Amino acid sequence: MKEKIHPQYYKDAKVICACGNTFTTGATKKVLKIEICSKCHPFFTGERRIVDTAGRVERFKRRYKLTE
């Protein structure tokens, strides 16, 4: 195995979600900022909602002319 080609691994990397939830995990970056975690994701919360990323749902509806 080659020396000095692997990134530094942090056993106590801090993960910060947009909802405010934080937890620690192992990662190659010291701080990770995420948009959705298990505390706010619809699959884990049981809430029925569409997670829209950059207007993809609206673009899909416009393309196929779907209405709710």
Q: What is the DSSP letter of 8?
A: P
pLDDT score recorded for residue 58 = 75
Q: Is residue 3 part of a domain?
A: no
The distance of Cα 30 from the centroid of its chain, to the nearest Å, equals 16
Interatomic CA distance for residues 14 and 26, integer angstroms: 8
For the beta sheet containing 22-27, the strands, ordered from the edge strand earlier in sequence to the opposite edge, are: 22-27, 10-17, 31-34
Q: Is residue 5 part of a domain?
A: no
Model's pTM, two decimal places? 0.58
Q: Is residue 43 part of a domain?
A: yes
pLDDT score recorded for residue 24 = 95
Total domains, the chain: 1
Which neighbouring-strand residues pair with 31?
14
Q: Is residue 50 part of a domain?
A: yes
How many Cα atoms within 13 Å fall on the side-chain side of residue 34?
A: 17
Find the domain containing 54 and state its range.
10-64
Q: The CATH number of the domain where 22 resides is what? A: 4.10.80.400
| The pair of three-digit structure tokens given for residue 38, joined into one six-digit string | 């298990």
Tens of pLDDT, residue by residue over 16-63, are 998 889 999 999 999 999 888 888 876 667 776 666 566 777 777 778
